[in-house]
Structure 1
Amino acid sequence: MLILPAIDLLEGRCVRLEQGDYGRVTRFGDDPLAVTRGFVADGAAALHVVDLDGARLGRPVHADVVLALCRETHVPVQVGGGIRAAEDVERYLEGGARRVVLGTVAARNAGWMGELIEQWGPDRVAAAVDARHGRVVVEGWTESGGVGVDSLLDQLELTGLRTVVYTDTRRDGTLTGPDVEGTARIVRRGFRTVAAGGIRTASHLAALRRAGAAGAVLGSALYRGTLTLAEALAAAAAEGATREC
């Protein structure tokens, strides 16, 4: 199982939000490049970067910073947040990102999602399925997407989508444990599933790997010190690690 440290950017800083609430922000670093270099030096084989300002505004805000991370780290980077236009997808993928992760687009325009997958390939375009009480949320988790998780996955199955990044937003930033069963349901539908939200311990990672998760995004656990990256990598290796992003 691949471990992806999270770099969430808000006002140019590395932060964590609790349950996606922009009013509950904890800042962990003023220099995203330094934070990123630290993760790579500690053994990270891939990174998960989100432009939180972009997610809320509906357009990339920190694209220059994100692309600098892609150039300097020399590990695969998957990028999300505010990617709504074809030129944004092209800028990131041509600029060095391994994969773009689309949430609002996936929920509201599955047809265009399919066109992007056809153009760039299924390994370079992923869907962010962000859910609260089984319903998809969009626009930086500030609005309902008007669709349930299962219904959205029904639509996305028709697009050629391969990778889903799944977050139970009620758990994100809380360290209360991931949604293992929700992850398993997506895995059973045949998607390569990366789980995020609530992970605190090595046992949480083991549970996700047993559920079939291909990867796990770690944020608050690393920043708050409940789990070191070395411990996370060891837990993933014990369960059968992959270094493929």
Structure 2
Amino acid sequence: MLVYPAIDLLDGRCVRLRQGRFDEATVHSEDPVSVARSFVEGGALGLHIVDLDGARLGKARNLDWIYRIREVVSVPLQVGGGIRTFALASRLLKAGVDRIVLGTAAAEDPRLLQKVLEGWDPDRVAAALDMRDGKLVVQGRESESARTVEQVLEKLRALNVRWLVCTDVTRDGILIGPNQELTTQMVAEGFRVVISGGVATLEDIERIRDAGAAGCIIGSAFYGGILTIAEANVAAGGV
């Protein structure tokens, strides 16, 4: 299992949101490139980057930061947030992003998801499921989708989506442990699953690993110095 340190970009800064709320953003750095470099120097084997402005507004706002990070680190990059056109999806993949993550587009625009999957290696494309109290949320996690989780999963299976990035938004940024039930459920659906939200201990990582997840995203536990990347990698079985 691969551990992805999280880099969330808002107004060109590296931030953490509490339970997905933009009004509770904590700024950790004015220089996302230095954060990315620091994570990699600490042993990160991949990075998960989200353009929060893009997720909220529907248009990419932090592309320059993403490209600059790509230039200075060699580890795989998984990037999401505001990818709602084929042109932007292709632009990111051509620029060397290893995997793009479609959230709102995956839930609301399956034709776009299908086009991206047909145009690119499906292992470079993930669908995001952001959950709040069992409901699927979209548009930067600020709106509830008209579709149920079951409806979206059925469509994703029909499109032969291979990768899911699943977040329990109610746990995001507050270090209370991941949603183990969500992890188990999504792995059982047959997808390669990357879990996000609430990871705070090595035991959390081990439980996600043992449930069969392909990856986990960790933010606050790294930024707060609760976990080191090296020990997280060991718990994940990545090193």
Shared fold by TM > 0.5?
yes
Any idea what the Cα deviations from partners look like across 1:160-192, whole Å, max 9, x if unmatched?
A: 100000001100111011011111111011100
Identity, % of aligned pairs? 47
For 2:23, the aligned partner's letter is G
Count of residue pairs the alignment pairs up: 239
Cross-structure match for 1:173:
173
Give 1:133 shift: 1.6
Which residue number in structure 1 is paired with residue 216 of structure 2? 216
CA distance in 2, matches of 1:166, 1:230: 23
User: 1:151 aligns to what?
Assistant: 151
1:219-234, aligned counterparts within 5 Å?
Answer: 219-234=219-234
Give the equivalent residue in structure 1 for 2:123: 123
TM-score (norm 1): 0.95
Q: TM (normalized to structure 2)?
A: 0.98
Unaligned runs of 5+ in 2: none
Equivalent-residue separation in structure 2 for 1:149 and 1:210 (angstroms): 24
Amino acid at match of 2:78: Q
Deviations 1:70-92 (A, max 9, x none): 12101110100111111111110
Q: How does 1:57-206 map to 2 (within 5 A)?
A: 57-206=57-206
Q: Which residue of 2 aligns with 1:41?
A: 41
Per the alignment, residue 55 of structure 2 pairs with: 55
* C-alpha distance in 1 between matches for 2:22 and 2:58: 15
SS at match of 1:75: coil
**Structure 2 equivalent of residue 28 of structure 1:** 28
Quote how far apart the aligned CAs of 1:204 are.
Answer: 0.2
Distance 2:119 2:145 in 1: 25
Q: Give 1:227 deviation, angstroms.
A: 1.0
Q: In 1, distance between residues paired with 2:171 and 2:81?
A: 19
Q: Secondary structure at the match of 1:147?
A: coil
Structure 1, unaligned stretches of length 5 or more? none
Deviant stretches of 4+, over 2 Å: none
Listed one character per residue, the Cα deviations across residues 49-104 of structure 1 (whole Å, up to 9, x for unaligned) are: 00011111101000111011112101110100111111111110001100110000
- Equivalent position of 1:18 in the other structure: 18
Q: Distance in 1 between matches of 2:109 and 2:189?
A: 20
CA-based RMSD: 1.0
Contact (CA 8 Å) 1:45, 1:76: kept in 2 or not?
A: yes
